[in-house]
Amino acid sequence: MEKIALGYKLDFLNPKILTIAEIKEHLSELEIEEISIDSCALIKDTKVIYSDYEHPLVLVSAVFGSKVLSIDSKYYQEHKEEIDDLIEFICRYKKGEFIALADSMIVNDRFCEAIGNNLNIERVRIGNRDDVAPLTLNEYNSLKKGNVEEIRSYEVSKELKDNFDPIILHNRRELIGYYPYTMLQSNDSFYFNNPLNDEELYYLKYINKKAKIDLKSLDNNNYFKVIRRLKELDFKGEIYLYVDNKNDFNNYLLNHLEELPDTQNIFIKSNKHLGLDCDILTYIKNERRLMEMVLPAMNLSPFEKYLFAYNKVKQFKKYKENNEDKANSRNLYQLLDNDYIVCVGFSRLLGDLLEKLGIPSLDYSVGVNVGFDDVPDDIVILPEKIVSSKTGKEHEVMIERGDHARREVHLVDPKYGIDGYFIADPTWDNDMEHDTYSYALMTQDEYNGTRRSNYFNCYGVDELFFVHSLEEFYAKINILLDKNKNKKEADIIRELLDKFETLDNEFYQEIISKYSGIRDYGFNYSKADIQNIFLDIGEHILTKVNKVVSGRTLKEGITAYYHIVLGLEGEELEQRVNETMAYNKQIYRKNFPVRYKVDKNEEKTVLLNGVNKFDVEGEEMGLK
């Protein structure tokens, strides 16, 4: 870096070389605002020095317009008494309302006393970011004597750490998260979404003791530190812990329960686990019950674990709505202790058990045609009118959209050659008398072949998983952009990443590593980035969708489940498996009827889904 000897040779800075006598005689005209030792600046990669030993006192206009008296450090050290007298004179008699003692070596009680006696000065700054001068109690008391309304420093001494006099700007800063002292005292609710460090834990002493506190994205150890600290302070408000990874949290919680002074007013919430909102004791009780449900499956392979969980859920109890309190059939913990459960409850219970078994899954909401819900199952030819089992009134059979909850599952099991994304619907396999698996692991094509209409989702990225080629993938992206005028390519990428983060975290980590900063707010997507990201995602999706779990594989998995979990062996095992496969073959034919498509010239009929996956013998012979 080039070094220019003196800034006063640069006319545009308009420096003034002064003497002590000149400064004292013309103090009002000079309008000195800042006193600095060895003041300098960087101008276009050039270091500009404002004063040197030959010219020890130079007045210069700084970059931001303030007038700085620059004092050469060597000269100051050799003439300290004389220069200190000058600095005291300036502090005592200057006319302006602002002054800065910009270096720690000139911050002391003597100068602060002089400033405090100068009734013109209203604002003071001591030290700088690179040369921090903590404000001391004596300095504060001296400055406070006069008309000073604002003291800016970059640190305060221990004695002033808890002094929240508004004139101490440092203590107006954010003490915990983005909350300053005044907000900690007055707010009724707080949201902390980062771990609290030791200083922030200390400042919890000032929080409104009756407020509501939401803690999110803290590590488990930090959750406990915050809770213990609040309990020490006799905090009376409600504490909400937002839990995303229940497995990690549960392991930590159950191993550190003795560290909690008490559990009163501690609640668990989760954005990921919808319907989870309860006090911590209820949470512990129910999590223990759910963990006990999956303990027998812990040593199984992933596919066997999945079958175990799916069976637990689909035969947990018969589908039943509570029209007086619908939470009873949907809330994960409530449905454990009553007779009610509907599709949302089935999906949440399955998702929770799979999570405990290490199998990633996501809530999957769809629209289905519920117009035929009152038609008895044994009626083959649909009537034009039916009598509603709910109201007893006759009405026409019309297409009627209803919301339905399923589960999207990422299952990988090398033992069975399984690696794909599947749709699971334990609600539609809810048969208390038979072991049914029609909807256990639907591929995207099977899903589209269910006996009820599925509506195209124009608002989310789910449709991008129902593809057979990159061309279809890109076409559906264009449909989403066309149907949602305010949505951009970057929005679709973010939605996909949100989905992969849970469903396929290994691929998610690969993408965010390849495209550094892609998850940062305001990431600048270039056209090339968008094309490459969509190509990577599209190609990956194609490796994961429509990977059929064959009848032979299902039979092997069911056999292992019956043997390992139910303890069946020999002829009893073989007979039970054969009965299950035969029944599922019959049910699958009804649930996934053979469908045909006529080509655009209406000349050729194409068979869309001729294979019954539970017809193992026919499958092996290549029969339809």
Contact status, residue 386 vs residue 398, Cβ threshold 8 Å: no
Residue 385 neighbours by CB distance under 10 Å: 8
Contact status, residue 114 vs residue 91, Cβ threshold 8 Å: yes
Residues 571 and 545 both lie in one domain: no
DSSP 8-state code for residue 200: H
Residues 541 and 602 both lie in one domain: no
Q: Specify the CATH number for the domain of residue 332.
A: 3.10.620
User: Residues, the chain, total?
Assistant: 624
Q: Which range is most confident: 11-25, 96-110, 515-529?
A: 96-110
CA–CA gap between residue 613 and residue 438 (Å, rounded): 9
Q: What angle do CA 416, 422, 424 make, to 5 degrees?
A: 110
3-state helix, strand, coil in the chain (%, to 5): 45, 20, 40
Residues 426 and 465 both lie in one domain: no
Residues 16 and 158 both lie in one domain: yes
Distances in Å between the Cα of 420 and the Cα atoms of 274, 406, 408, 423 are 25, 17, 11, 10
Task: Read off φ and ψ for residue 76, nearest 5 degrees.
Answer: -60, -45
Q: Which two tokens stand for residue 323?
A: 């029209």
Burial (Cβ within 10 Å: 0-12, 13-18, ≥19) of residue 40: middle
Residues 147 and 208 both lie in one domain: no
Residue 162 lies in a domain: yes
Residue 563 lies in a domain: yes
Residue 289 lies in a domain: no
Residues 520 and 556 both lie in one domain: no
Which is more confidently placed, 128 or 2? 128
Mean pLDDT over residues 63-70, rounded?
Answer: 78
Which of 440, 473, 498 terminates a domain? The answer is 440
At residue 34 the predicted structure's pLDDT band, cuts being 50, 70 and 90, is: very high
Which of 272, 291, 320 terminates a domain? The answer is 272
Residue 279 lies in a domain: no
Residue among 422, 432, 439, 424 nearest 548 (CA): 422
pLDDT over threshold 60, residue 193: yes
Residues 112 and 196 both lie in one domain: no
* Residues 6 or more apart whose Cβ sits within 8 Å of residue 367: 401, 402, 403, 404, 454, 455, 457
The per-residue pLDDT for range 142-167, each reduced to its tens digit, is 999 999 999 999 999 999 999 999 99
Residues 116 and 162 both lie in one domain: yes
Instruction: Give pTM, 2 decimals.
Output: 0.75
Residue 287 lies in a domain: no
Distances in Å between the Cα of 252 and the Cα atoms of 238, 284, 299, 310, 415 are 21, 12, 21, 27, 31
pLDDT over threshold 50, residue 217: yes
Residue 92 lies in a domain: yes
CA–CA gap between residue 147 and residue 116 (Å, rounded): 7
Q: Which range is most confident: 180-194, 440-454, 583-597?
A: 180-194
Residue 280 lies in a domain: no
Mean pLDDT over residues 185-197, rounded?
Answer: 95
The residue written with tokens 């050659």 in the block is 417
Burial (Cβ within 10 Å: 0-12, 13-18, ≥19) of residue 592: buried
Contact status, residue 464 vs residue 473, Cβ threshold 8 Å: yes
Counting the structural domains of the chain, the total is 5
532, amino acid identity: N
**Helix (H) or strand (E) segment spanning residue 308:** helix 302-314
The per-residue pLDDT for range 463-520, each reduced to its tens digit, is 999 999 999 999 999 999 998 888 899 999 999 999 999 999 999 999 999 998 898 8
Distances in Å between the Cα of 601 and the Cα atoms of 567, 595, 598, 608 are 56, 18, 8, 17
Residues 377 and 469 both lie in one domain: no
Following CA atoms 613, 617, 621, 624 in sequence, which dihedral angle do they give, to the nearest 10 degrees? Answer: -40
Which of 512, 528, 549 terminates a domain? The answer is 549
Residues 35 and 164 both lie in one domain: yes
CA–CA gap between residue 581 and residue 69 (Å, rounded): 92
Which structural domain range is residue 215 located in?
Answer: 181-272
Which residues on adjacent β-strands are paired with residue 528? none
Q: Which range is most confident: 238-242, 324-328, 367-371?
A: 238-242
CA–CA gap between residue 126 and residue 154 (Å, rounded): 8
Residue 539 lies in a domain: yes
Residues 17 and 29 both lie in one domain: yes
Residues 405 and 263 both lie in one domain: no
The average confidence (pLDDT) of the chain is 87
The percentage of the chain sitting over the pLDDT mark of 70, rounded to a whole number, equals 84
